[in-house]
Structure formats: structure tokens, C-alpha cells
Amino acid sequence: MATVSVADLHKSFGKTRAVDGVTVDIANGEFFVILGPSGAGKTTTLKSIAGLVDIDGGTVHIGGRDVTHVEPYHRNVAMAFESYALYPQKTVSENLASPLKSGRTGRYSEAERTERIDQVTTTLGINHLLKRYPRELSNGQRQRVALGRVLVRPADIYLLDEPLSHLDAKLRAAMRAELKQLGAMSNTTTLYVTHDYQEALALGDRIAVMREGRLVQIGTPEDIWRRPADTFVARALGQPEINLLDGVVDDDRIRLGDGSLDVAIPAGAVADRGDRVRVGLRPSDIHVTDGEGTLRGRVLLAERLGRNIELTVDCGGTQLIVLTSGRHGVGEGDNVTMRVADSDVHVFAVGDGDTPRLGPADHTSTLEAAQ
């Protein structure tokens, strides 16, 4: 167990700036998730901490020790990659035992090795595969074994790069719960990279959202979900994606679209009468109601997604995506009235590309606050 401190980290590949000034402090025993799309710099950040790439600038400290120029095998980190690497000539049991026999990880008795392997394989659900060879495993099984090779040996920090990417949806959901339990039991500092917002929200004590090599926001899952720093973060979390609508501030309301729709200005939003703003409404926060509501429209499309229904609603030329339960019996062609709680209204600046949140600044875990 150890702290991790990264300061002003830079790394470029040719003219491509993969990591651009990343600074973050991770606490002892914290499960820290780095979330972002492909090419955001997540894996390069992880490899920089592990010492697998030579950084262009910045420092890396593990457990208070400056390891910026220390070889990877002297950093006492264990890393799992998205692409699994197993010894093809060894059984699953032998693959898992291999890290415990390395001179760099200390000496373990046979009983200690058996205990560690049994604990990890039970957690990962692969204890029935111990006598098989990698060629006899499915892709998902091989990925779990590769993850087991990392988790089986004690380390100061675990670095996990998309370790569940090859699993099917059902197994991935089960593995999220197991990883959370394993992290809590081992109390080992863990950095976890993913592009899946559900994994990030489920696993992370805190989440760092990356875009184009830079950290956009750091905070708890609640912070990131409830107070996204900008429209990029807002769109990164949630499926269906958040609705983004331009509007104009009118006293304590925001008029949307052609002015026939309006929502309340949430407490703490920094906007004055007449200001043009961009409003974010999550589909799950828009509620179809039999009573009063300030959002009205006609259902263009209704798609059942298991227990929920995704509605595409035309509100006078402005389309809203709404996620609702099936109990209202709403169908295509129906006129609906909707409402959204004041606290569920997100207000952003208007502009090209992604724009910042307009308050409340003192409650938003923006990058500046995190650093």
C-alpha cells in the first residue's frame, strides 16, 4: 500500500502530445479510476507511473519516494494490460505461481503460494481452470487469468489497464463487484483505466476524466455525475447521452429552444437575465408526469430497453431523449408532459466545442480544485 503523486507529467510521441501536464495525488489504499475515450492518454499515464515509458517532463513519487528515473522492477508495481500475456507452455496454476517465484517479489513458501492463488482464483471465478493451458481457455477466461497474475502478488500499487474489456456484459458486471471487494480486502492502492463510465462509477473512490492528454476533472463518482465540470464530462457519463439545449436566462427560469420550454435556474448557477446558456438534462432525470410540468411534447419514437423505455420527444422542434419506466404506458404519437427537478438542471456556457459549467464553483471538483 502506498501513495502515488504525479506532478506536471508530459509525454509526446513524435508530434503527438499523449500526456500534457497531468498532476494528481492518490491516497493510500485508494481505488482511483482514469476515465476517457481512446487516445485520451490514459494508458500512457499508467505506463509512465509504472516506468514503462520514458517521460519528457514531470515527476512520479510512489510511497513518498521519487521513482521518476527508477527502473520498473524497482518500483514494486503490478500492472495488467488490456492485451493479456500468458506463458502458453504453462498451466493456469503455473502462470499464476510464476510472479510469486520471481526473486524481485520476495520468497514465498509453497503453502503461501497456494493460499494466494486460491484467494485470487476464487474471487475471479477461475479456480476450476487451474490445470488448463491458455490455448484451452476462452478470451474472457484468458483475460481473468492475466488479471490474476497481477493480483496474486503483493505490490505497493496495482495498475489495471482495461482489464475487463474482453468480458461479456454479464460477466463484466459480476467482475466489477468482485474487483471492488478485492480492492477493499487488500487495501492496496489501485489505478484503473477504462473508457466505460459504468465501471468508473461502480469502482472508483475517485475518478479522473481525461481528454487529449489532459485531466478535465477529478472527483468522487457523485461529484462527477452531479456536477460535471464541462459538457465533455457531462457527455462522457450516462447512456443515453445527456441532452444539451441552448437557451436564454429569463429571471429565475431558462427559456429553451423557441421559448416554449423552460426549466428553473439551479441554485448557485452563475448566470444573469438575458445570458445565453447551454442546459444539460440527463434522460434519466426527465420524468413523465400526469400532473403539471414545464416540458411538453409529442413522442416520436419509443424503444424498450429492458425494464425502461427510451423516448424521443419532439418539443416544438427541439428533441429530448427521455428514459422512463414502462408504467406510464406511453407510446409513439402520444402527447406527454414532463418535469425535471431544479437540482437536476446543469447549466454550461455557450460556445463552440465543449464549454465549462456555470457554477456552483465552490461545489464543483474541477481540475483547479483537485490540484
Residues 77 and 49: beta-carbon distance below 8 Å: yes
Q: What pLDDT, on the 0 to 100 scale, is given for residue 257?
A: 83
Architecture of domain 242-353: Beta Barrel (2.40)
Whole-number pLDDT of residue 345: 96
Are 4-232 and 242-353 the same fold in CATH? no
Q: What is the pLDDT of residues 317-347, one digit of tens each?
A: 899 999 998 777 889 999 999 999 999 999 9
pLDDT > 90 fraction of the chain, expressed in percent and rounded: 67
**118-144: pLDDT as tens digits:** 988 988 889 999 999 999 998 888 888
| Structure confidence at residue 46 (pLDDT) | 97
- pLDDT number for residue 105: 57
Assigned fold of 4-232: Rossmann fold (3.40.50)
The rounded average pLDDT for each run of 10 residues, N- to C-terminus, in the chain (371 residues) is: 94 96 96 96 97 97 97 91 83 93 72 90 91 92 88 89 82 79 77 94 96 97 96 95 96 88 91 94 94 90 92 94 86 94 95 89 44 43
Q: What is the pLDDT of residue 305?
A: 87
Three-state SS at 307: coil
Gap between the Cα atoms of 23 and 313, Å rounded: 42
Q: What are the residues facing 32 on neighbouring strands?
A: 191, 206
Residue 355: CB atoms within 10 A of its CB come to 16
Q: What is the 3-state secondary structure (H, E, C) of 330-349?
A: CCCCCEEEEECCHHHCEEEE
pLDDT at 360: 64
Please name which of 300, 297, 292, 323 lies closest in space to residue 310, comparing C-alpha atoms: 323
Angle at CA 147, nearest 5°, toward 145 and 151?
Answer: 110
Instruction: Map out the domains of the chain as residue ranges.
Output: 4-232, 242-353
